[in-house]
């Protein structure tokens, strides 16, 4: 989960009518991997790209469920701690995010381009069920 602090809210001249807020600093509550997601939205002849910080696969599923018809996830990277306990984090391209159900419990496996992988439990499947990829890099 990401945490925002009132003192880091940007209060510049750029205001959005939808209530969107901007923050100079966000905090990650737990030291676990998170996703950096690129969403491309086509509006008439313009392609808009947005980079979203997504704290877990549950929220990634919510993002997928809420995408409008003219938008798609074009790239996903995982921000993961290095295995050497150095405290250094790396951003690695995600190859697949695959859903697995076993005895009514859902987990996902996140397969990274560097050959490593990790698993996360999924609490809210939304419209997703069965064993299948939730995301596959093109």
* Res 54: pLDDT: 93
Q: How far apart are CA 17 and CA 59, in angstroms?
A: 24
What is the per-residue pLDDT across 89-122, written as a single tens digit (0 to 9) for each? Answer: 899 999 999 988 877 788 899 999 999 999 988 8
Give the pLDDT score at 79.
Answer: 93
Best CA proximity match to 100, nearest among 59, 65, 57:
57
What pLDDT sits at residue 126? 59
Query: Which segments in the chain show pLDDT lower than 70?
Result: 13-18, 29-30, 124-131
pLDDT at res. 114: 93
Q: Tell me, what's the pLDDT at 128? A: 58
Q: What is the pLDDT of residue 13?
A: 62
């Amino acid at each position: 989960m990401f945490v925002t602090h009132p003192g880091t809210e940007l209060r510049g001249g750029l205001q959005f009518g939808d209530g969107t807020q901007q923050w100079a600093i966000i905090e990650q509550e737990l030291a676990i991997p998170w996703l950096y997601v690129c969403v491309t939205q086509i509006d008439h002849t313009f392609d808009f790209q947005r980079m979203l910080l997504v704290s877990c696969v549950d929220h990634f599923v919510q993002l997928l469920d809420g995408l409008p018809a003219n938008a798609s996830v074009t790239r996903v990277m995982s921000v993961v701690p290095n295995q050497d306990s150095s405290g250094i984090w790396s951003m690695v391209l995600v190859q697949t995010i695959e859903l697995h159900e076993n005895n009514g419990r859902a987990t996902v496996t996140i397969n990274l381009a560097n050959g490593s992988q990790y698993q996360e439990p999924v609490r809210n499947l939304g419209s997703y069920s069965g064993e299948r990829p939730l995301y596959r890099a093109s």
